[in-house]
Amino acid sequence: MQIEPTSKLVMIGDSVTDCGRAQPVGEGLFDALGRGYVANVDSLLGAVYPGHGIRIVNQGTSGNTVRDLKARWQRDVLDLKPDWVSVMIGINDVWRQFDSPRQKELHVPLDEYERTLDGLVQATLPAVHRMVLMTPFYIEPNRDDAMRAQMDRYGGAVRRLAERHGTLLVDTQAAFDEVLKSCYPAALAWDRVHPNQTGHMVLARAFLQAVGFAW
């Protein structure tokens, strides 16, 4: 597995990452890591690699866009001095274009999204061992659906950045698409955005596969 023993991994994003994590720093006892894919990753690493002592911190915040990440990046990522950083952002950047179409100030255009995330990656890479970029997703199998099509464009930006900077990539949309061959979207997320426990395990599995997890 690529994550080295005693590494500190900060995982940051929006509500899908947050999942009720402790504030201001998502680390500690009970549900401090939240009840989503971050906690699943931590549990599986602890069960299968108990000797590695990998330390995970959840810094997801509900409702965030890439603009919000930029505003809190120093405090919530760099100041924690991680060895690894995982980022999954973009769902709200896209969603606000559809659920709040007249509030243009809430929309994050694709060029701004890619430029801002690019800046965060560039600022972080010199300070960490490795970064993991996770695409945003929409749990909808119809690629012609307007929001799914737009989410795919933002996911494309993440793939370009991963290739440009040599980070690891987790294609979360591809992971959900595989499961959607057998499941209706509501079986994974009531709103096609916030996964249930099965959906969060899909995310955790995709992340762990990307870092070389092996049973």
Q: Exposed (0-12), middle (13-18) or buried (19+): which is 164, by Cβ within 10 Å?
A: exposed
15 labelled catalytic: yes
| Site of tokens 């911190």 | 57
Roughly what angle, to the nearest 10 degrees, separates helices 197-210 and 172-180?
130
| Site of tokens 């080295």 | 4
Instruction: Please say whether the beta carbons of 148 and 192 come within 8 A.
Output: no
3-state SS record for 40-53: HHHHHHHHHCHHHC
The CA distance from 54 to 46, in Å, is 8
| DSSP-assigned letters across all residues of 13-36 | ESHHHHTT--SSSB-SSTTTT-SS
One of 15, 18, 86, 171 is an active-site residue; which one? 15
Which residues touch 86 (CB under 8 Å, ≥6 apart)? 9, 10, 11, 12, 131, 132, 133, 134, 170, 207
One of 7, 42, 107, 194 is an active-site residue; which one? 194
Residues with catalytic roles: 15, 191, 194
